[in-house]
Amino acid sequence: MKAFLILEDGNVFSGKSIGSTKDVISEVVFNTSMTGYLEVLTDPSYAGQAVTMTYPLIGNYGITPDMESKKAWPKGYIVRELSRNYSNFRSTGSIQDFLKEQDIPGICGIDTRALTKILREKGTMNGMITTNENYDLDKILPQLKAYKIGDVVSETTCDEKYTLKGDGPKVALMDFGAKDNIAKSLNLRGCQVTVYPSYTTADEIIADNPEGIMLSNGPGDPETNVQIIEEIKKLYQTDIPIFAICLGHQLMALANGGKTYKLKYGHRGGNHPVKDLSNNKVYISSQNHGYAVDADSIDASIAKEAFINVNDKTNEGLSYIDKNIFTVQFHPEACPGPQDSSYLFDRFMDMMKGGK
């Protein structure tokens, strides 16, 4: 069956339908990872978006036990070529069947290189995936321009708190759309991790006496999370060590008077170089975000820049002055991606033991 990707600038790509055949409008982004398509599909940070994979062949190892959450989150999926056969000793099915089961429409057989160049030159834009060959461009384009992702944090957070048992420090993980490997990375280091829904109050978390607090990744515009930011302000006032990733990093900055802004086309993939300003070493990182913290908006008496992106010099992390708090924009838990920066979890462990 034919399928069409219609962008809000009027560009139309024609290809073949994969997955669900329903029409969908979403923000269209691209990911440069060469492997890990299942982890990408199950990353809650993609809620409200259609993901374009720049690597040309997707699906060759099928569906494996590598999901980062219980379901897939993108509203659409865009690939150059979908593998007709899959081969892996752990595979349980094909990506085609997975997309159908998850009710995610997609398109294959289009020039993803040309699409990515458009998004890089013009910036991230909205688009529609449709199987309707009689689409009306004049009616669709205003709909595309009007689309907004909305409150996706409340859609992706857990329904109730739960605990991963451990005999080490007690960590409270605020779930704003967390990838599973954040909790697993802490749990593997012995932590007892209690995961809290995004709407949990600071008072409830403090009352549970955690030895550390983790603020997770998540989807959408950070500035829309007004109530969550208010609760983070209260957590900041405590002496509890805090480590924040991605959206959590942005929310902590906003809670302390900083500002965020939308990047032209975002950072999504497993090959982004970041420099740790404490040792001037460069690490290859996994990233998935469309917004960034404006480092110039941060009061120097509150926090200092800890990491920068080597490619575009955008902020990649902050270290808070006289506080056991540090935050990063990238994903030290990876999945998919390199494990270069996993040492940051060890730094958090040291903070909970009394170090800085």
Q: How far is CA 327 from CA 106, 248, 296, 331, 345, in A?
A: 35, 8, 16, 11, 11
Residue 87, token pair as written in the block:
């081969």
Whether 290 has a binding-site annotation, put simply, is yes
Is residue 333 flagged as an active site residue? yes
Whether 106 has a binding-site annotation, put simply, is no
Is residue 331 flagged as an active site residue? yes
Give strand ranges (E) for 1-156: 2-7, 12-19, 24-31, 49-53, 57-58, 76-78, 81-82, 105-108, 125-130
Q: Which of 27, 249, 331, 335 is catalytic?
A: 331
Among the listed residues 29, 38, 157, the one whose alpha carbon sits nearest the alpha carbon of residue 99: 38
Q: What are phi and psi of 34, to 5 degrees?
A: -90, -25
Is residue 267 flagged as an active site residue? no
Q: What are phi and psi of 58, to 5 degrees?
A: -125, 140
Which residues, in sequence order, are bridge partners of residue 291? 262
Q: Mapping DSSP to helix (H, G, I), strand (E, B) and coil, where does residue 32 land?
A: coil
Whether 45 has a binding-site annotation, put simply, is yes
Sheet holding 325-328, edge to edge: 162-164, 192-197, 170-175, 212-215, 242-245, 325-328, 315-320, 303-309, 259-276, 281-294
Whether 127 has a binding-site annotation, put simply, is no
Whether 247 has a binding-site annotation, put simply, is yes
Contact by Cβ (8 Å): 108, 82: yes
Q: Which of 27, 246, 249, 316 is catalytic?
A: 246
Whether 218 has a binding-site annotation, put simply, is yes
Whether 102 has a binding-site annotation, put simply, is no
**Sequence letter at residue 192:** Q
- Distance (Å, rounded) from C-alpha 346 to C-alpha 327? 14
CA 243 to chain centre: 16
Residue 189, token pair as written in the block:
């280091």
Whether 77 has a binding-site annotation, put simply, is no
Q: Which of 8, 27, 39, 333 is catalytic?
A: 333
Known binding-site positions for L-glutamine: 45, 218, 220, 247, 250, 288, 290-291
Report the catalytic residues: 246, 331, 333
Known binding-site positions: 45, 218, 220, 247, 250, 288, 290-291
